[in-house]
Amino acid sequence: MTKKTSTKVPTQQASYQYDAIIIGTGPGGEGAAMNLSKSNRKVAVIERQKDVGGGCVHWGTIPSKALRHSVSRLIEYKANPLFRFSERPQRLTFQDILHHASDVISKQSSLRSSFYDRNRIHLYQGDATFVDAHTIQVQHLDGSQELLTAQTIVIATGSRPYRPPGVDFNHPRVYDSDTILDLTHNPQRVLVYGAGVIGCEYASIFKGLGAKVDLINTRDRLLSFMDDEISDALSYHFWNSGIVIRHNEEFAKVETQDKGVVLHLQSGKKVKADCILWANGRTGNTDALNLDAIGLKADSRGQLKVNEHYQTEIDNVYAVGDVIGYPSLASAAFDQGRIAAHAIVHGKCDDRLITDIPTGIYTIPEMSSVGKTEQQLTAAKIPYEVGRAQFKHLARSQITGTEVGSLKLLFHAESKEILGIHCFGERASEIIHIGQAIMEQKGQGNNVEYFVNTTFNYPTMAEAYRVAALNGLNRLCD
């Protein structure tokens, strides 16, 4: 990336209030702030909301996963034979399960607030805009303004749901993935536009609550970045549960009514529902930062370009998290903040995000993967073998009544090096990390035979690794 030369006075000739100012308190901002503070830097953070945590805590990761957990437990309860002859509870509503999510949000925000206090980081609440490359204006919640200066600025403002023009998001039956948490009525039929991660997760949630769900997918298959078998398993499970999936569809317009919406598709179809959840894309939160003041420009999606140290084209300005795009994961954002902080303090950082970042998708059931898919290995002409374990054969799954799902291991047919791990089923996002730990080992440490030669607790879901490894090794040609 071409670097621009900063026109600001060198550090030794300037006096700043802070060594660093972090804009945003999501995972990326937190990772940068904490690591800079622990390196004895004087740090300030600016948060536009009344509580810290960013979109991850308040609208995205934490709320949707808390909602999903409640619905998943309800589904398990209904399927448990111990309760078949007892009185059934009344149908839960979205508002009922929001109480649990609200408790988790409050606990997470309070915990994260204590981190800033304990590390003596100054917190300013309000909107941040650039005055120049070292000066930030804070518009406080009470309307007052304040100027802050720092040698280094880190942009960690996250992202928000994309809102296409022509869709009335002020209508009480039109939601995005942020405003859906304000849902006050009890929809019987929900329309989800966008079958990405967020769309699939909320389709699961509403279906689990008993609503009829129409899922509009603008592509030809669900979550095509996943291994085909895992993606197909989710599609089948959605179909089997009654979710209607409409592939290769694009919207023409959204017609709003007093008690619902009608989605007009370019194919000529019309889909009616009590409400619509728009979950098709996200935009970086950079438009209100006055980036023109420092000569920095975001792309059409509001995202910033950075180098390997998360440094932008302006020498003293860094950016981390969703605002720089891929991989747009909370876990990765925290690491990006940590790496950026190290580079700020030491001038460089040899650490990088790991190559194989695990993916966790909190549908019902969950999906998770790390490493290569079968399609990628086939395209690269890498000889591999497949080992599978069906959850319905595991004693732990039978005990818990969560028999839907499987674990899939991909390993090199000659060296037996683990190349990819894919999991579909309850607790998939946890199960995947057992394999990830072995996969990340170098040399002989990364070998599928590890799962055969080690001893697992019994009965556990971890035993799936031994079953899958034996299944795959038995397929090898002598």
Closest-CA residue to 150 (of 169, 173, 131): 131
The gap between the terminal CA atoms of the chain, to the nearest Å, is: 50
| Ligand-binding site membership of 260 (annotated) | no
| Ligand-binding site membership of 198 (annotated) | yes
| Ligand-binding site membership of 385 (annotated) | no
Question: Any idea which residue has 């409050």 for tokens?
Answer: 106
| Ligand-binding site membership of 52 (annotated) | yes
Which regions of 41-188 does DSSP assign to beta strands (E)? Answer: 43-47, 122-132, 135-140, 145-155, 159-161, 174-176
Backbone angles phi, psi at 150, to 5 degrees: -155, 155
| Ligand-binding site membership of 194 (annotated) | yes
| Ligand-binding site membership of 212 (annotated) | no
| Ligand-binding site membership of 197 (annotated) | yes
| Ligand-binding site membership of 472 (annotated) | no
| Ligand-binding site membership of 435 (annotated) | no
Query: In whole angstroms, what separates CA 23 from the centre of its chain?
Result: 20
Give the C-alpha separation, 106 to 108, whole Å.
6
Query: In whole angstroms, what separates CA 218 from the centre of its chain?
Result: 20
Question: Any idea which residue has 């009480």 for tokens?
Answer: 172
Tokens of 317: 């300005």
| Ligand-binding site membership of 65 (annotated) | yes
| Ligand-binding site membership of 29 (annotated) | no
| Ligand-binding site membership of 322 (annotated) | yes
Give the C-alpha separation, 409 to 367, whole Å.
14
User: 315 and 4 in contact (C-beta within 8 Å)?
Assistant: yes
Residues 6+ apart with CB under 8 A from 27: 54, 56, 321, 330, 331, 333, 334, 337
**In 80-196, which ranges are continuous DSSP H helix?**
94-118
| Ligand-binding site membership of 192 (annotated) | no
Closest-CA residue to 65 (of 360, 339, 354): 360
Helix (H) or strand (E) holding 19: strand 18-23
| Ligand-binding site membership of 157 (annotated) | yes
| Ligand-binding site membership of 281 (annotated) | yes
Can you spell out the DSSP letters for 363-416?
SSS-EEEEE--HHHHHHTT--EEEEEEEGGGSHHHHHHT---EEEEEEEETTT-
User: 469 and 452 in contact (C-beta within 8 Å)?
Assistant: yes
- 475 conformational bin, left if phi > 0, alpha if psi -120 to 50, beta if neither: alpha
| Ligand-binding site membership of 201 (annotated) | yes
| Ligand-binding site membership of 17 (annotated) | no
Whether residue 383 is preceded by a cis peptide bond, meaning omega within 30 degrees of 0, is: no
| Ligand-binding site membership of 196 (annotated) | yes
For residue 357, the 8-state DSSP code is: -
| Ligand-binding site membership of 292 (annotated) | no
| Ligand-binding site membership of 47 (annotated) | yes
Which residue numbers belong to the known binding site for NAD(+)?
Answer: 194-201, 281
Annotated binding-site residue numbers: 47-56, 65, 157-159, 194-201, 281, 322
> Which residue numbers belong to the known binding site for FAD?
47-56, 65, 157-159, 322
